Structure 1
Amino acid sequence: MKLFSAHEMRAADQAAADAGIPLLLLMEAAGRAVADAVTRHFAHPEVLVLCGGGNNGGDGYVAARHLLASRRVSVLELSSAPRSDDARTMRRALLAHGLTPRPLEEAALTRALEGRPLVVDALFGSGLTRPLEGEVAAAVARVNASGCEVLSVDVPSGVASDTGELLGPHVRATRTVQLAGAKVASLFHPARAAFGAAEVADIGIPKAILEAHASVTVLSPDGVRAHLPTRAPDTHKYEVGTLLVIAGSATYLGAAEMACRAALRAGAGLVTLASEGSFPGTWPEIIHERLAWDHDPLGTLAELGENRAQVRLIGPGLDRRAAAVLPALIGQRRVPTVLDAGALGGGDAWERAVRDHGRCVLTPHHGEAAKLLETSAKAVRTAPLEAARTLAERTGAVVVLKGATTVVAAPDGRTAAHAGGHPGMATGGTGDVLAGLLGAWCSDEGALFERACAGVVAHARAGERAGARFGDGLIATDLIGAFPEAWRELREGR
């Protein structure tokens, strides 16, 4: 499935029209899809349709016409003269069926809501960039306060469709029918919650046109299955991947251990941890090499890298003294390298090293991405797709921007997003687990973007399995325990 900005959706609509599919036909299909969703999901005998003055309102007029056969329908409208010819045509068709819309005024809305109808929100669709004001904002507030269930058309009114931002007063929908494709806001918080249960309706735009006009893929188990690591019956540990983990410190050795354990559960053939701390040795499968950051660390790591590093993971819980040698360390071996946490140093020398390396995967959270982009965490949260793309372009690396919805961006512009997981994953160490998983799976340097996408989905699935057992009290190591089941489910198409 693809994710659309308002501009991309308009371009797809126009491309469909240029190919011979009239926009009026798309509006008819959209309204019919909304009416079908009402029939499938809601038993309310009364339906109140709120129509705006644009094409979203036109969809509402069509939905109202189709619902006349099975429900008692009333329509309140912002304007009796919609802005588009197609919406005006659909309004006339509704009049021909005997239903006359009334003005959306306070008294009329109050009376209509007293009957506890299902409310169809067709006021504003995608492309809204300013807060709702005046009578419209007041009407939305009344709908929200009424306790009535609401089905929104395409995007809940008052939501900025291209970000996760809430512009101000907005409809809190029970369900949203997104037309032709998912909208950006449906995946990103806080706007995501306003959509309620979201679905996508086919309105007749050919798949080839949709694929050509959307730049973001919504990740799914089916979409990443082909990129999950597999093993031949006669393989050995050096073929499935040897991982050198450069991580940990006296304070944060647990981060290093979790990354190593995750890598082993993700199928790494051999995991070596280079760390200055005293490793507790609770997992005997992890090889521990002592590292002294004050005594030729690059020499030690060069020797280890020659023998045990088809892939490197640098950063979980990393000693702060490593910052001085990070650029040199990154450039030391041209093997796939995952940079997490303490290895996301930033600065001109660091950025040059990452770009010159050419095989890096960066795993920042919003705060770390803000530091690398020299902006605020709020700016990253507001536009995570843009932030991930910009960072990928600047560094030449695959970027995994972690969050409740995680974004994966490649330097060539490919972008994907995944909204899976469990709220309990908001706990220390889950990022270390993801870093270890990616370290195990990124041995195929020709498919770093695809492997990163697969890792994000698998990590989220493990979080869902751990969350089902432990709820909001899950801890990071629970994900490691849940990972074999999650991986098996993804391979088997479950």
Structure 2
Amino acid sequence: MTGYYRPILTAAAMRAAEEHAMADGTSVDTLMDRAGHAVAEAAWRFGGGRPVLILCGPGNNGGDGYVAARYLSERGVPVRVAASADPRTEVSIRARQTWTGPVEPLATVAPGAVLVDALFGTGLTRPLDGTIADPLARCVAAAHFSLAVDVPSGMDADSGALLAPLPHFDMTIALGALKPAHRLQPAAAHCGAVIIGDIGIAIESRWTELAQPRLKAPGPLDHKYSRGLVAVVAGDMPGAARLAAMASARAGAGYVRLYGASVQADAIVSHPVEALESDLADARIGALLIGPGLGRSNAARRLLALALATDRPLVIDADALHLLKGVGLKTLARRTAPAILTPHGGEFTALFGDGQGGKIDRTLVAAARANAVIVHKGADTVAAAPDGQVTVAPPASSWLSTAGTGDVLAGITAAMLARGLAPLAAAEAGLWLHAEAARLSGPAFIADDLASNLARAIAPCL
């Protein structure tokens, strides 16, 4: 079982959800009224009742701003409205008519204590004109609290790309559901805290935000094999494999074997690498992890070939990803046993090429091509399955940018796979536990600290 996953919708999927709600009898004016009310509530609560300046654009995002202005005024909050242009959609025109106060020109507006950006939402595909971008940046910089409606104006909601230099907001209120830009970089860094504004429509999506996993504690009849046997293959740099093996053990695997390296931890059993081929016939192996510190020699290629030839569930990381190019990737795609690949950006490009579209699109294509779950790591992390399911992780500690943290993630993921979780669920659990262990480790940690904090990270998931 898993926790609650918040759906993520592209701009087109969000429009489709709204159209479905309207087909069921909810008017577009009602949807805008709900959105404006949610914006007003956020501006009032998080702005502390301070005077509010709302910047409105010509489309429906601006219409939400006019509705929010009316609700804030009715609550007794001092409100000013500035507009970049007159409303152009029928519903935003009607929303403008409900606001009885003055509308100032955007170009000359004086900043306010609370700034609400309702200029442009998810439909923007071009850079902001300087006559809009400059006043927006000036007002955000001067505000005590800044709030963006749906997405900050000037970013691509689907890819997370910045269409122009943008200010950083304190908060973004996502209307109805999260959008990819709320979790993909570089856009996510400009959104601040992201909250959901409920507009009363049903949201369904195969794209979701990473949620805390719910893990089953061992029962009275469990033993080391039922809890999951992980086999880790070492190579030219055995320290990385040792770290991954320790992470598997700390993540709850019942038994961890390390092939090709010695290890001081008594909980991990060392085996000669020559024993790997015969040992792979052991059906008790719940996950085979290969890649951390493997190297790229002919001997490493032979070890990867052995791994690909088995019917054991695989986690493939680091050097093994580079060795997969060509024939190895085709062999992987033909396997029927589960597989999880955990590339960072450089490894992903080396294996799959640059591709087209944003990070989610490229990861989905790679997952289908490899017939495997792909955990595309980085400042933002996307996990995609061959069947089209996607999970996007919220921002994790920037201190994870240190050597060995990827090895720890691979080890945790292998433990989750070995305990019987489905591949995407194992990847999700690995990502969440990895991020939580980083949070618990505080600043300036090293990869070993992550493994040491895994027990504390797991505790709330049981």
The CA deviation at 1:478 is 0.3
Does 2:315 correspond to 1:338? yes
Q: Per residue, is there more helix in 1 or in 2?
A: 1
Distance 2:181 2:223 in 1: 45
1:377-426 superposed Cα distances (whole Å, 9 cap, x missing partner): xx7xx822112211100010011111233211111111111125322111
1:335-381 superposed Cα distances (whole Å, 9 cap, x missing partner): 111111111123221111111223211011111111111128xx7xx
Counterparts of 1:65-214 in structure 2, within 5 Å, are 65-69=70-74, 70-80=76-86, 82-94=87-99, 98-104=100-106, 106-107=107-108, 109=109, 112-113=110-111, 116-206=112-202, 210-211=203-204, 214=205
Does 2:241 correspond to 1:256? yes
Distance 2:170 2:456 in 1: 33
Task: Supply the AA of the counterpart residue of 1:267.
Answer: G
Distance 2:49 2:219 in 1: 56
1:170-223 superposed Cα distances (whole Å, 9 cap, x missing partner): 2422221111111111112221121122211101113xxx11xx23111111xx
Distance 1:452 1:175 in 2: 29
Where does residue 422 of structure 2 map in the other structure?
447
1:225-284 superposed Cα distances (whole Å, 9 cap, x missing partner): 1xx2432212221222222111232xx211011011111112222211112x5x2x3212
Where does residue 244 of structure 1 map in the other structure?
231
Distance 1:89 1:147 in 2: 29
Distance 1:37 1:20 in 2: 27
Where does residue 406 of structure 1 map in the other structure?
381
Distance 1:232 1:151 in 2: 48
Where does residue 436 of structure 2 map in the other structure?
461
Does 2:269 correspond to 1:282? no
Task: Supply the AA of the counterpart residue of 1:162.
Answer: D
What root-mean-square deviation, in Å, do the aligned CA atoms of Structure 1 and Structure 2 show? 1.9
Please give the TM-score of this superposition, normalised by the length of structure 1.
0.87
SS of the residue corresponding to residue 208 of structure 2 reads: strand
Q: Is the 8 A contact 1:248 1:318 kept in 2?
A: yes
Task: Supply the AA of the counterpart residue of 1:86.
Answer: V
% same residue: 39
Counterparts of 1:351-362 in structure 2, within 5 Å, are 351-358=329-336, 359-362=338-341
SS of the residue corresponding to residue 281 of structure 2 reads: helix
Choose from 435, 451, 455 the match for 1:484: 455
Choose from 16, 25, 36 the match for 2:21: 16
Where does residue 294 of structure 1 map in the other structure?
none
1:437-476 superposed Cα distances (whole Å, 9 cap, x missing partner): 1111212567121122112111111111112xxx1x1000
Where does residue 342 of structure 2 map in the other structure?
363
Q: Is the 8 A contact 1:458 1:490 kept in 2?
A: no
Distance 2:80 2:216 in 1: 55
Distance 1:405 1:48 in 2: 32
Choose from 225, 229, 233 the match for 2:220: 233
Q: Is the 8 A contact 1:266 1:484 kept in 2?
A: yes
Distance 2:125 2:440 in 1: 38
1:312-346 superposed Cα distances (whole Å, 9 cap, x missing partner): 11111003224533563233210111111111123
Distance 1:140 1:421 in 2: 28
Q: Is the 8 A contact 2:340 2:373 kept in 1?
A: yes
Choose from 59, 67, 82 the match for 1:62: 67
Distance 1:423 1:36 in 2: 32
Q: Is the 8 A contact 2:119 2:153 kept in 1?
A: yes
Counterparts of 1:42-61 in structure 2, within 5 Å, are 42-61=47-66
Distance 2:161 2:350 in 1: 21
Q: Is the 8 A contact 1:272 1:287 kept in 2?
A: yes
Query: Structure 2 vs 1, CA of residues 135 and 184 (structure 1 numbering), >3 Å: closer, same or farther?
Result: same
Q: Which runs of 5+ in 1 are unaligned?
A: 292-296
Distance 1:15 1:171 in 2: 34
Q: Is the 8 A contact 2:286 2:312 kept in 1?
A: yes
Q: Which runs of 5+ in 2 are unaligned?
A: 1-5
Task: Supply the AA of the counterpart residue of 1:455.
Answer: G
Please give the TM-score of this superposition, normalised by the length of structure 2.
0.93
Where does residue 288 of structure 2 map in the other structure?
312
Q: Is the 8 A contact 1:327 1:349 kept in 2?
A: no
Distance 2:278 2:33 in 1: 67
